[in-house]
Amino acid sequence: MKTNFIKIFIIVVLMIFSFCLYSQVFPPPENVQVDPYLGIVTWDPPGGTICDDDFEAYTVGGYLAVQSDDWTTWSNNPGSAEDAFISDDYALSGTNSVKVDGTTDLVLIMENYTTGAYSFDLNMYIPTGYCGYYNLQKTNVPGTEWGFQIQFDVTGEASIDGGAAAACTFPFDFDTWMNFEVVVDLDADLCDFYYNGTLMHSYQWTLGTFGTPGLNQLGGVNMYAWASAGNNPLYYFDDFNVSLVNAEPSEDVIGYNVWLDDMITPLTYTTELQCALLDHITLNYGQDYIAGVSAVYDDPEGESDIEQVPFTFTQEPINPPENLVATVFDYNDVHLEWEPPSGAGGGILAHHSGYIDNGIGTGAAADFMCAARFDAADLVDYYGSDLTSVNVHIRTADFSFVAVKVWEGGSFGNPGTE
C-alpha cells in the first residue's frame, strides 16, 4: 500500500512539473515600433514595463479605480467622487480615455523605488477654456512629498514646479493630444521633462517641487482636477505607460526573431534591439505590412508571443514652398516671393551684431569662450526643426583655432549635454 502511495505521489509531482513547464509564459519584447520611412523595426527587451494601459478594456461610464487594480484615489476610496470615469469623448488610440474633472483625485498604485531610472509617459487632451494638472509623488503614501508637478492654465501656459516654483513655463495647445514624459533617474538624482519629445526642463530630483532637499525616492502618480482661481478643471489622458528606463534584458533572453506579415516563418534572427527590414526583403512604397518581434529564451528553452505592429511603407515627403506670390512689374518682369515649406521651420534663432568699435580680445595669447542661451520660449517655434548653421564673424585673422559647440537640455547655470 505504501509503495503504491509513493508511486501515485511521484506521478502527481511529475504531472504538476510537466504542467508548469508546458504553461511557462515567456515575456515578449516591449515598445515595438516601425519607422515607416526607413523600414527599421526597434524594440525594448522584456521586463521594462511596470504599467501600460490604453483603457480599452474598461466599461465607458464606469469608474477607473473600481475596474483597474493599478489605480486608487487619494484617500484610497475607489468609486467615490475622487475616482475618474472612463470616457469615449476623446481618445488617442481606440475609443476610450480617462476623464478628469470635478473632484477627481486619482493615484497610481506603485512600489517605493529607491534605485533605477523610470519613465512616466502619458498623453493629455485639454479642451479650450479648462485647466489640467498632474504630479509625481516620492512615496506610495499620497501627500508625503511631491517630486514634480505641472499646471496647465486656461491662458494656454503650462508651469512646472521642479527644483523651484515655476522653474519652467511654456505654451501648450488646447483641443489636441499632447505627449508628456517625465524621466526620473534615482541613481543620478535627476528629473527630465519632455513635451512632444522635446526636453523642456531638467533638475535635481531630491530638490522636489520647490527646491527643498528631500527624499531620493519615487512612489506614485497623481492625476488631480486642479484649476486656477475662477476656472474649471477638465482634461483627458490616454495611453499611459510607466517603465524602467534602459531595462537590462534577462540573461535567459538569447535573441529575437523578426517577422513580417505571415508570422509563420521568421524573416531573420538577431541579438540586437533593432532590425532594418530592407536588409532582408524588398518593401514597396504605399503597401501595408505587419512587422513582428518575439523574444527567444534559453533556460528554459522557449519563445514569447509575437508583438505585432502594422505599418505602411512610405516615401518620406518633400514639402513644396508655400504662399507663392507673383508680382508683375515693368510689363515683362515677374518677381516671385514664397515661404519655406511646412515643417522646415526655417529662420534665424538669434542674431547679435556686437558693439560698435568693440569686441572680445587682448594683446596676449588667450582662450575665450562665449555662449548664447535659449529657453523654452525662445525655441517653441522651432520644435522639430534642424539647426543647419551657426554664423560667427571674427574681427581679425590672428587666431589659431575656432570651435562651435551646441548643447541640448540644461537650465540656468547648467548648459546641459554637449
Q: By percentage, how much of the chain surpasses pLDDT 90?
A: 61
Which domain covers residue 77, as residue numbers?
Answer: 49-244
Who contacts 141 (Cβ-Cβ below 8 Å, separation ≥6)?
Answer: 219
- Residues 244-264, mean pLDDT to the nearest whole number: 86
Would 164 be classed as within a structural domain?
A: yes
Q: Is residue 337 part of a domain?
A: no
Residue 141 within any structural domain of the chain: yes
Q: Which of 312, 332, 361 is the last residue of a domain?
A: 312
Instruction: Convert the pLDDT of each residue in 107-158 to its tens digit.
Output: 999 999 999 999 999 999 999 999 999 999 999 999 999 999 999 999 999 9
| Ramachandran quadrant class, 286 (left: phi over 0; alpha: psi -120 to 50; beta: rest) | left
Domain boundary among the residues 272, 294, 312 is at 312
Report pLDDT digits (tens) over 296-347: 998 778 999 999 999 999 987 777 888 888 888 777 788 888 887 765 445 5
Do 180 and 90 have their domain in common? Answer: yes
pLDDT exceeds cutoff 50 at 393: yes
17: CATH: 2.60.40.10
pLDDT digits (tens, 9 = 90+) for 199-243: 999 999 999 999 999 999 999 999 999 999 999 999 999 999 999
The answer to whether position 351 is within a domain reads: no
pLDDT band at 11 (very low <50, low <70, confident <90, very high): very low
Total count of domains within the chain: 2
Q: Per residue, what are the HEC states of the chain? A: CHHHHHHHHHHHHHHHHHHHHHCCCCCCCEEEEEECCCCEEEEECCCCEEEEECCCCCCCCCEHHHHCCCEEECCCCCCCCCCCEEECCCCCCCCCEEEEECCCEEEECCCCECCCEEEEEEEEECCCCCEEEEEEECCCCCCCCEEEEEEECCCCEEEEECCCCCCEEEECCCCCEEEEEEEEECCCCEEEEEECCEEEEEEEHHHCCCCCCCCCCECEEEEECCCCCCCCEEEEEEEEEEEECCCCCCCCEEEEEEEECCCCCCCEEECCCEEEHHHCCCCCCCCEEEEEEEEEECCCCEECCCEEEEEECCCCCCCCCEEEEEEEECCCEEEEEEECCCCCCCCCCCCCCCCCCCCCCCCCCCCCCCCCCCCHHHHHHHCCCCCCCCCCCCCCCCCCCCCCCCCECCECCECCEC
Among 244, 262, 279, residue at a domain's last position: 244
Predicted local distance difference test score (pLDDT) of residue 19: 39
Q: Is residue 396 part of a domain?
A: no
With contact defined as beta carbons under 8 Å apart, do 135 and 213 qualify? no
Q: Are 131 and 154 in contact (CB under 8 A)?
A: yes
The pLDDT of residue 10 = 45
**Same-domain status, 255 and 229:** no
Give residue 384's pLDDT: 64
Mean pLDDT, the chain, rounded, equals 86
pLDDT class of 21 with cuts at 50, 70, 90: very low
336: in domain: no
pLDDT tens figures, 24-82? 678 889 889 999 999 999 998 887 888 999 999 999 999 999 999 999 999 999 999 99
Q: Is the peptide bond before 127 cis (omega within 30 degrees of 0)?
A: no
pLDDT of residue 18: 41
The answer, yes or no, to whether residue 266 has pLDDT greater than 90, is yes
Whether residue 13 is predicted with pLDDT greater than 50 in this model: the reply is no
**Whether the predicted model's global pTM rises above the 0.85 cut:** no
